[in-house]
């Protein structure tokens, strides 16, 4: 039997995945048997050159135009999501929390955050803490649950009092760009995205110097301070126990990440997702009644390949090679996050606790989405740009726009977009109205609207997704814990 066949056979039929025992450390020790299969899954490939960093055109982004003196609007969180998976990041692109509807537990909605955030029962206190974590202040503190740059001189000169501008790529995904205080020829890109129920954070450092830039310190945030919360706002029992009481943290297979297991207090409490039966085509082969626990899986990729990390790897150091052939030396980090349901009888494969390197390619995902949304000049389909409220400041004609991203080879990369920018940084009333309408609509559709069908089971044994109508809950949004109340509906 070939190695690939052995991998497929083991992931589906290994008796380990049908054990009636709860997830334990021994469960993950067994995963070490799949060493080659695991390595192949998380590796970028055969060493072929990686694609260039995706750089969107400004007319494909939502950008709030304001004077440099008026930057108070930057001191806030950015929320985004897709199909019931949402996330919030700070004004510097650091992760605050992740939310996903799983259809298990008491509320069906679960959050991943850190110990500084109050329990969901304390609605106001939790919202205030999340909001304070998003802002820039002289007592700014980092969150522990996400990838971040360790050194302050890798941020802009005025860090932490002035935040960088945020671009909403395709009006959906927050993107932060800045020149570092250490060296103006060292640029940073922080890009967020949700794809197939996975939250992805891409952190890119580009070196335009002629010499290597050494000592780039990053903190992967894979500590045991990651916590999972059932977003139940009515039950105070979770507040009676010390945080982390119902959680256990293990290394992912061969240390390619971390797995935090949250044992449900009352497995299967959520008898039905709604008061009525879902449409026949919307039924899922996995039942929330059989849910035993919820797992948060987190992994780090560097230049496209998974990184093996020990528990004491709280700080990593890298060097960036100099410019070669007018192409900047780049260093790309991708942090991947997902929440999954662990069934009562643990019928799961080892791939459930890993990420496929091919599926977390942020550059390729954004290129595909941009091409699909904005179209090409030879296509007859309507572009989103044609639906804009303002036809003056966007620098386009009535025809669809080319989706090709901006290209550059130095800090003056903004010149590539100059033909598409409005004459000044100050926007007119029409452009401001367009920004507000587009962003509010996108926020409602991708963050507030939560499909109440559980996501497909993370296993290669079968695809539990099914076509059909989906019921949607209109919630108050992620910073309010996705509550459903009169003001939201």
Mean pLDDT, residues 185-207:
94
Taking the C-alpha atoms of residue 190 and residue 200, their distance in angstroms, rounded to an integer, is 11
Q: Is 46 exposed, middle or buried (0-12, 13-18, 19+ CB in 10 A)?
A: exposed
Global pTM reads: 0.79
Assigned domain for 485 exists: no
Q: Which range scores top for mean pLDDT: 17-21, 24-28, 442-446?
A: 442-446
The answer to whether the Cα torsion of 277, 278, 279, 282 is positive or negative is negative
Assigned domain for 488 exists: no
Taking the C-alpha atoms of residue 101 and residue 456, their distance in angstroms, rounded to an integer, is 11
Q: How many CB atoms lie within 10 A of CB 102?
A: 22
Report the pLDDT value the prediction gives residue 215, as an integer from 0 to 100: 86
Comparing C-alpha atoms, which of 410, 437, 340, 393 is closest to residue 55? 410
Q: What is the pLDDT of residues 351-379, one digit of tens each?
A: 888 999 889 999 999 999 999 888 754 44
Residue 203 has pLDDT above 90, yes or no: yes
CB–CB of 300/337 below 8 Å?
no
State the pLDDT confidence band at 451, using cuts at 50, 70 and 90: confident
Mean pLDDT, residues 112-127:
84
Assigned domain for 487 exists: no
Assigned domain for 489 exists: no
CB–CB of 406/416 below 8 Å?
yes
Give Dmax (Cα) for the chain.
67
State the pLDDT confidence band at 92, using cuts at 50, 70 and 90: confident
Q: How many structural domains are present in the chain? A: 1
Domain assignment of residue 257, given as a range? 3-480
pLDDT higher for 435 or 235?
435
Assigned domain for 66 exists: yes
pLDDT higher for 283 or 469?
469
Report the pLDDT value the prediction gives residue 369, as an integer from 0 to 100: 93
Residue 103 has pLDDT above 90, yes or no: no
Q: Alpha carbon of 225 to those of 4, 113, 144: distances in Å?
A: 36, 8, 6
Assigned domain for 236 exists: yes
Mean pLDDT, residues 107-125:
85
State the pLDDT confidence band at 45, using cuts at 50, 70 and 90: low
């Amino acid at each position: 039997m070939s190695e690939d066949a052995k991998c497929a056979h083991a992931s589906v039929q290994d008796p380990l995945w049908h054990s009636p025992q709860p997830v334990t450390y021994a469960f993950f020790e067994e995963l070490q048997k799949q060493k080659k299969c695991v390595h192949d899954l998380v590796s970028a490939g055969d060493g072929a050159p990686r694609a260039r960093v995706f750089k969107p055109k400004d007319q494909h982004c939502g950008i709030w135009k304001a004077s440099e003196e008026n930057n108070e609007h930057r001191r806030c969180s950015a929320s985004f999501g897709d199909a019931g998976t949402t996330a919030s990041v700070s004004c510097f692109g650091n992760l605050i929390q992740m939310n996903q509807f799983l259809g298990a537990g008491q509320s069906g909605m679960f959050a991943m955050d850190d110990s500084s955030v109050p329990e969901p029962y304390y609605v106001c206190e939790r919202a205030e803490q999340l909001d304070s974590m998003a802002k820039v202040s002289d007592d700014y503190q980092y969150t522990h649950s996400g990838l971040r740059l360790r050194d302050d001189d890798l941020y802009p000169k005025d860090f932490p009092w002035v935040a960088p501008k945020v671009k909403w790529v395709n009006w959906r995904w927050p993107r932060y760009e800045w020149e570092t205080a250490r060296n103006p020829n060292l640029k940073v890109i922080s890009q967020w995205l949700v794809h197939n129920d996975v939250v992805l954070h891409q952190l890119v450092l580009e070196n335009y110097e002629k010499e290597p830039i050494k000592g780039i310190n990053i903190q992967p945030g894979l500590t045991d301070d990651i916590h999972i919360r059932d977003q139940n706002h009515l039950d105070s029992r979770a507040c009676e126990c010390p945080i982390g009481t119902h959680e256990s943290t293990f290394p992912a297979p061969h240390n390619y990440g971390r797995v935090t297991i949250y044992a449900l207090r009352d497995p299967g409490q959520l008898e039905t997702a709604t008061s009525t039966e879902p449409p026949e085509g919307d039924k899922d082969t996995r039942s929330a009644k059989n849910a035993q626990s919820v797992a948060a899986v987190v992994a780090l990729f560097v230049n496209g390949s998974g990184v093996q990390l020990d528990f004491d790897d709280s700080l990593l150091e890298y060097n960036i090679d100099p410019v070669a052939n007018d192409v900047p030396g780049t260093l790309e980090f991708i942090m991947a996050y997902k929440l999954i349901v662990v069934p009562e009888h643990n019928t799961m494969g080892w791939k459930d606790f890993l990420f496929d390197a091919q599926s977390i390619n942020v550059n390729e995902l954004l290129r595909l989405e941009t091409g699909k949304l904005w179209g090409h000049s030879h296509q007859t389909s309507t572009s989103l740009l044609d639906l804009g409220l303002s036809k003056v400041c966007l620098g386009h004609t009535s025809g669809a726009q080319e989706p090709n991203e901006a290209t550059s080879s130095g800090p003056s990369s903004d010149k590539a977009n100059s033909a598409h920018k409005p004459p000044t940084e100050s926007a007119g009333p029409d452009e401001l109205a367009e920004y507000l309408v587009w962003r509010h609509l996108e926020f409602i559709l991708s963050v507030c609207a939560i499909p109440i069908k559980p996501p497909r089971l993370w296993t290669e044994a079968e695809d539990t997704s099914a076509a059909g109508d989906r019921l949607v809950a209109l919630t108050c949004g992620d910073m309010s814990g996705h509550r459903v109340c009169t003001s939201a509906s």
